[in-house]
Structure 1
Amino acid sequence: MGAVVVALAVVVVSWLWAALVHLVWRPYAVARAFARQGVRGPAYRFFVGNNEEAKAMRAATSGETLDLRSHDFIPRVLPHCRKWMSHYGKVFLSWTGSTPTLFVGDYDMVKRILSDRAGLYGKTDPGPDIMALLGMGLVFNEGDDWARHRRVVHPAFAMDKLKMMTGAMAACAGEVIRAWEARATAATSGEVTVEVGQLFTELTADVISHTAFGSSYRQGKDVFLAQRELQFIAFASINNVRIPGTQYAPTKANVRRWQLERKVRGTLMAIIDERLAAAKEARGYGTDLLGLMLEANSDSAAAATAGGDHRRIMNMDEIIDECKTFFFAGHDTTSHLLTWAMFLLGTHPEWQKRLREEVLRECGGTEAPLHGDALNKLKLVTMVLYETLRLYGAVTMIGRRAMADADLCGVKVPKGTVLLIPIAMLHRDEEVWGADAGEFNPLRFRDGVGRAAAHPSALLSFSVGPRSCIGQDFAMLEAKATLAMILRRFAFEVAPEYVHAPADFLTLRPMQGLPVMLKLLDP
């Protein structure tokens, strides 16, 4: 009995010592090491780090609104970043629980992190809530798994394949626009007010349903609604201290997440099974994104069988995870790009007029069909979309983790440190973007993205380097097609009841939607 007590005491003491090292000694040592290098930040608080401070600052600014001509939403959305950066500089240390978190507001450091090919700066652990939303696809995979997924998925995003999807994109947008036309025609004034944010969300979900899964929004609605709820579950937990094992506890949030995960998987599995059955009957996999991915995977499987290398193949769970990524990333970020582009054009009528003239010149009138080659000639539209991404990019911050001790442009970063890149703040850096960094000026992109700022990789909305977004051409093509169709039929302005209060729910959106007054143009 005595031996058992002694053994138990040893275990308890060992556990307490490990906890003391992790929660007290290491944070102190890491903070001291960074301070010796001139990198400081808010003081570490036992166990919770700076999470509670950040949450309190966000809550304090959540009721603030902006003037329509102001694009500086940082004090509203990232007040803690603004405060700490003003006190400690562009590079500072904070704490997510007991994890050291280095805010990297220096473009040279950002380039070093994002251009890494050696696996030194890996993706951060997204946690179970975000994993349920996006799956373990290209977004979070690392090393050989990432390369294997990229090899299978990449053919689906080749430009020649995307151009073939322009018709489906235009057809989906056409349904929405015809509904607007009917409402405007019925109105005596020829004008109608529409909340475009939710409509763009449904439109882009319809587009990704058609182009990725060969189905309609109604058929993919279960996935859409489930992922929407998963997104809010993930956002609600984003600043919580993560305690190991709690993701398995049958809490209300966890039970709901498990239910939604099963619904998403079941819906996607049914779609995939139909494709596999069609392929067995020699009808092919289809020409949409899912079909192209399944075909590429089948080709990899054949090559693996011939060469004995089965590491090239994606299994069914991995295909489902990529489908989750397709569906969420393929509609959520694009819907916000369209929403904010409408806001900017609705508050800058001179630019709206210039874009309309370009669209009519390059794409023809309302009856002319849209095609990819014409959309690629829309230089002004492209410039406005890039400026929209700069000022109102869907993702305000991205993270990486030091997988080993690293030297980051002269700053020694210990293994396990999280590196946060505040994209929204970098996009407003006057040293890089000029004195007008806070203003809407699409002409800064007249010579292309690489020459828009003092740093060639300054626009980070799609990231840069080997892990840049594989779907960026898809998003830009869809946004061009939708905007072109709207500009041909309507003049618009932001409605008086609009409240300018950008909010970050994993992606940036207007807090209360975007009501827009549409005026039907003469045919």
Structure 2
Amino acid sequence: MMEDLHKLMLISVFFCVLMSWALNFYRNNLWVRCQTHRKKLRKQGIKGPSPSLLYGNVPEMQRIQSMVAKSPSSNGEIVGHDYTSTLFPYFERWRKEYGPVYTYSAGNRQHLYVNHPDLVREMSQSMTLDLGKPSYITKALAPMLGNGILRSNRSAWAQQRKIIAPQFFMDKVKDVGNEQPMVGLMKEAAQPLLAKWEASIEAQGGSIADVRVDEDLRASSGDMISRACFGSSYCKGKEIFLKLRTLQKVISNQNFLFRVPTIRFLNNKVQKEVKSLEKEIETLIWEAVQEREQECSKRCSSEKDLMQWILDGAINDQDLSKESSKQLIVDNCKNIYFAGHESTAVAASWCLMLLALHPEWQHHIRAEVDQLCKPNGDTDLVLDADSLLKMKAVTMVIQEALRLYPPAAFISREALEEFQMGSIVVPKGVCIWTLIPTLHRDPEIWGADANEFKPERFANGVSNATKVPQAYVPFGLGARLCLGKNFAMVQLKLLLCLIVSKFSFSLSPNYRHSPAYRMIVEPGHGVHILIKRT
């Protein structure tokens, strides 16, 4: 008994010494570096909230967030489209106090908040490889995205961009010369969704149905990605999507954006779950890649899909070993699955929510579809890439939805070396954050109606929709512009045209408006609408 007690005391002493050493290291090294960064920024006139010794401004952020959580809610009613004061209240409070550029810290990391459009443009359009994605964020997202193009930096990012970017050019998305054009594959993938909603109407009395559309849109978007990019049906990709979705929720629950570093073994259960999901996802993707290779070798066709182009690019790159090629393929498949599937489905969900609130824009889209896609008054839609490019009303709706509800909440960068941005010298190691929805709702940029849904503001394109075009960044800007922008826009247009041509809809009483941040900004309780046949 005494021997066990003695061992327990020794372990306790050892743990205390270890924690004391860790605390000392933190104070004397990481905190000093953070303090140095803050002083350099303040000498340039950049102010911000005063940090605590160990945790920076995280306790204040948590306190502000807690106060918002306790404040009276709207019970899910839509009282406005500005959700930044609910999801990111600390940023809004500090912006009002210190202006569009200020500094704050999260633990041992110094941050620079930048919401000035000229500085955002300069940062985003910079071609230097010394400005990359924040290392602590990419480390947290590694199980989800690997070292793919969404989180890699410097030469690794440049190499992947060279391989992947050409596959998303508009001519590849249009795929005019192929027997099965990409738009045709997308249209085919959308049919189960339309049939399911038809069946829901019949099952609920034949007149009108209450449906939750966000999960159905995820399934449809996943099927589109699988068929158009990877040559397989949604059934083969479904397990990958479901596991990615589970992993997304687990990572989001860890508050990965502003979490104070902790000792990993204290969260061992979560770490094991993350590792297990990561391994399962990578195994499934590699099986899909090998299956696709076998299909292609049997078919001997000159036509190629996105996966084949990535395979060819990785295998033929002399700078990559066999193992590196495999990892590049798997990592970027994870990136495409997540960005192309999740982000597009969420954007489509917000579009339907806004169209349900504004039926007059359903009429505009329906009239345009009838005019452009029903030759000689036919009942069947003739939808192809060229007709989608001519769609003006649906384009305006999507652009306005992406302004009010951009799936990506932030543009985030880290100065991998000292970086000049306008008149500001950003020290090496400082992370730069831009809150996209705040930029998209600035009345000085967009006018007094910045918080209102008005697609007509985009009638003459983005350049004429705002005083400062570079303030519209749903897909990012410059070298880091989302590679899948063209694919996503075609996918969104196709989905909305098909849905609006077959159904009219309004918001269901079951809809609760609660935007939530889970790596992207999504409807917290889904999107419920009442649908009926047109």
Instruction: Give the TM-score taking structure 1 as reference length.
Output: 0.90
Which piece of structure 1 moves more, 424-433 or 179-188? Answer: 179-188
Q: Which amino acid aligns with 1:83?
A: R
2:397 match: secondary structure:
helix
Q: Which residue of 1 is the match for residue 59 of structure 2? A: 52
Residue 492 (structure 1) aligned with residue 505 (structure 2): yes
Which piece of structure 1 moves more, 338-347 or 274-283? Answer: 274-283
Q: How big is the shift at 1:275? A: 2.9
2:149 match: secondary structure:
coil
Q: How big is the shift at 1:151? A: 2.1
* Alpha carbons of structure 1 residues 59 and 207: separation in structure 2 relative to 1, 3 Å: farther
Equivalent position to 2:231, from 214, 221, 224: 214
Mapping 1:412-427, distance limit 5 Å: 412-427=425-440
* Alpha carbons of structure 1 residues 197 and 292: separation in structure 2 relative to 1, 3 Å: same
* Alpha carbons of structure 1 residues 160 and 413: separation in structure 2 relative to 1, 3 Å: closer
Equivalent position to 1:480, from 493, 500, 515: 493
* Alpha carbons of structure 1 residues 152 and 356: separation in structure 2 relative to 1, 3 Å: same
* Alpha carbons of structure 1 residues 371 and 234: separation in structure 2 relative to 1, 3 Å: same
Residue 25 (structure 1) aligned with residue 32 (structure 2): yes
Q: How big is the shift at 1:62? A: 4.2
Asked if structure 1 preserves the Cα contact closer than 8 Å seen for 2:56 and 2:105, the reply is yes
Q: Report the Cα distance in structure 1 between the residues aligned to 2:394 and 2:251, rounded to whole angstroms.
A: 33
Q: Report the Cα distance in structure 2 between the residues aligned to 1:186 and 1:15, rounded to whole angstroms.
A: 62
Which piece of structure 1 moves more, 217-226 or 276-285? Answer: 276-285
Q: Report the Cα distance in structure 2 between the residues aligned to 1:149 and 1:30, rounded to whole angstroms.
A: 32
Q: How big is the shift at 1:366? A: 4.8
Q: How big is the shift at 1:278? A: 4.1
Asked if structure 2 preserves the Cα contact closer than 8 Å seen for 1:366 and 1:489, the reply is no
Equivalent position to 1:436, from 421, 425, 449: 449
Asked if structure 1 preserves the Cα contact closer than 8 Å seen for 2:149 and 2:332, the reply is yes
The CA deviation string for residues 362-415 of structure 1, in whole angstroms up to 9 with x for no partner, is: 122652232111111111110110110010010111210112223322123211
Q: Report the Cα distance in structure 2 between the residues aligned to 1:56 and 1:215, rounded to whole angstroms.
A: 48
Q: How big is the shift at 1:286? A: 6.1
Q: How big is the shift at 1:468? A: 0.2
Q: Report the Cα distance in structure 1 between the residues aligned to 2:190 and 2:299, rounded to whole angstroms.
A: 33
RMSD of aligned C-alpha atoms? 2.5
1:394 match: secondary structure:
coil
Asked if structure 1 preserves the Cα contact closer than 8 Å seen for 2:410 and 2:434, the reply is yes
The CA deviation string for residues 61-99 of structure 1, in whole angstroms up to 9 with x for no partner, is: 347346425111111111111111111111111112121
Mapping 1:13-412, distance limit 5 Å: 19-62=26-69, 64-65=73-74, 67-68=77-78, 70-125=80-135, 126-163=137-174, 164-188=181-205, 190-237=207-254, 238=256, 239-243=258-262, 246=264, 251-281=268-298, 283=300, 287-298=304-315, 300-301=316-317, 304=318, 315-364=325-374, 366-412=379-425
Gapped regions of structure 1 (runs ≥ 5): 1-10
Q: Report the Cα distance in structure 1 between the residues aligned to 2:298 and 2:532, rounded to whole angstroms.
A: 50
* Alpha carbons of structure 1 residues 405 and 374: separation in structure 2 relative to 1, 3 Å: same
* Alpha carbons of structure 1 residues 12 and 390: separation in structure 2 relative to 1, 3 Å: closer
Q: Report the Cα distance in structure 1 between the residues aligned to 2:294 and 2:122, rounded to whole angstroms.
A: 46
Q: Report the Cα distance in structure 1 between the residues aligned to 2:248 and 2:224, rounded to whole angstroms.
A: 20
Residue 449 (structure 1) aligned with residue 466 (structure 2): no
* Alpha carbons of structure 1 residues 343 and 24: separation in structure 2 relative to 1, 3 Å: same
Asked if structure 2 preserves the Cα contact closer than 8 Å seen for 1:213 and 1:289, the reply is yes
The CA deviation string for residues 252-275 of structure 1, in whole angstroms up to 9 with x for no partner, is: 011111111111111111111123
The CA deviation string for residues 329-380 of structure 1, in whole angstroms up to 9 with x for no partner, is: 1111101111010011110111221111111111226522321111111111
* Alpha carbons of structure 1 residues 133 and 286: separation in structure 2 relative to 1, 3 Å: farther
Asked if structure 2 preserves the Cα contact closer than 8 Å seen for 1:401 and 1:417, the reply is yes
Q: Which amino acid aligns with 2:348?
A: L
Which piece of structure 1 moves more, 422-431 or 123-132? Answer: 123-132
* Alpha carbons of structure 1 residues 414 and 510: separation in structure 2 relative to 1, 3 Å: same
Gapped regions of structure 2 (runs ≥ 5): 1-17, 175-180
* Alpha carbons of structure 1 residues 141 and 434: separation in structure 2 relative to 1, 3 Å: same
Asked if structure 2 preserves the Cα contact closer than 8 Å seen for 1:104 and 1:419, the reply is yes
Identity across matched positions, percent: 31
Asked if structure 1 preserves the Cα contact closer than 8 Å seen for 2:314 and 2:320, the reply is no
